[in-house]
């Protein structure tokens, strides 16, 4: 049986205005959880490539200053932060789910599967998860979903950076295989350049064929 989405250790209303980016980690520790993992994904919206998730356990007392929602960081800042997070975190994990899985099931299921895979690679395993979004991960770990969690929890922010950088690197490698789509620039998102290439060349094996602008 999976845990409820809203565990009682958290207040009913999420305090998104707090300036303490370890506020929710602190609540979990007060409830008796020592190892708290932040989880986020990258790549739900693109027309091509995998969805990638990351999980991060940040030790108490580690600040990771400058790490925030990956979407609000420059590409260089994310690339610089990537090895710092890996060095300073107690544990990090990555989960990758292919475009074929996305097409067979759906992007929500694929995103949650990627998150599950990321968490399962953590060593040690966390006792509690902070998950970006509104859907719990299908695994029997205590967890709490946080809307815009990558903006209000540093653990989730760190996970968002790892997931984004890792996925961007995958897409750059795919660019070498399928250069006409500009994956090194658009990372699979439906830019004007990408859509024009789809019209001219059709889809390639890493496209998500169930997505409207691909089919």
Q: What is the pLDDT of residue 2?
A: 47
37: left (phi over 0), alpha (psi -120 to 50) or beta: beta
Distances (CA, A) of 128 to 12, 75, 114, 207, 208: 18, 30, 17, 35, 33
Q: What is the pLDDT of residue 213?
A: 94
Among 3.20.20.150, 3.30.420.10, 3.30.1360.30, 1.10.3720.10, what is the CATH number of 23-167?
A: 3.30.420.10
Q: What is the pLDDT of residue 119?
A: 98
| Token digits of residue 57 | 């356990």
- Which segments of the chain have a pLDDT < 50? 1-6, 13, 16
- Summarize pLDDT for 156-206 with one digit per residue, the tens: 999 999 999 999 999 999 999 999 999 999 999 999 999 999 999 999 999
Q: What is the pLDDT of residue 19?
A: 82
Q: What is the pLDDT of residue 96?
A: 98
> What's the pTM?
0.92
| Cα 48 from chain centre | 16
């Amino acid at each position: 049986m999976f845990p409820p989405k809203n565990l009682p250790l958290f207040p009913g209303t999420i305090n998104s205005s707090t300036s303490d980016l370890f506020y929710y980690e602190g609540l979990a520790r007060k409830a008796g959880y020592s190892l708290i993992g932040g989880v986020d994904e990258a790549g739900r919206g693109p027309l091509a490539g995998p969805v990638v998730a990351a999980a991060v356990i940040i030790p108490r007392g580690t600040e990771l200053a400058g790490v925030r929602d990956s979407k609000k960081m420059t590409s260089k800042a994310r690339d610089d932060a990537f090895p710092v997070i890996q060095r300073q975190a107690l544990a990090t994990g990555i989960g990758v789910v292919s475009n074929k899985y996305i097409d067979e099931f759906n992007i929500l299921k694929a995103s949650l599967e990627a998150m599950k895979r990321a968490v399962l690679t953590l060593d040690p395993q966390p006792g509690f998860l902070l998950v970006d979004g509104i859907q719990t991960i299908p695994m029997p770990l205590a967890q709490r979903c946080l809307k815009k969690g990558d903006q209000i929890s540093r653990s989730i922010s760190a996970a968002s950076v790892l997931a984004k950088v890792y996925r961007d690197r995958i897409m750059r490698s795919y660019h070498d295989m399928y250069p006409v789509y500009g994956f090194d620039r658009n990372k699979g998102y439906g830019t004007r350049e990408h859509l024009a290439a789809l019209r001219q060349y059709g889809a390639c094996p890493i496209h998500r064929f169930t997505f409207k602008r691909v089919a």
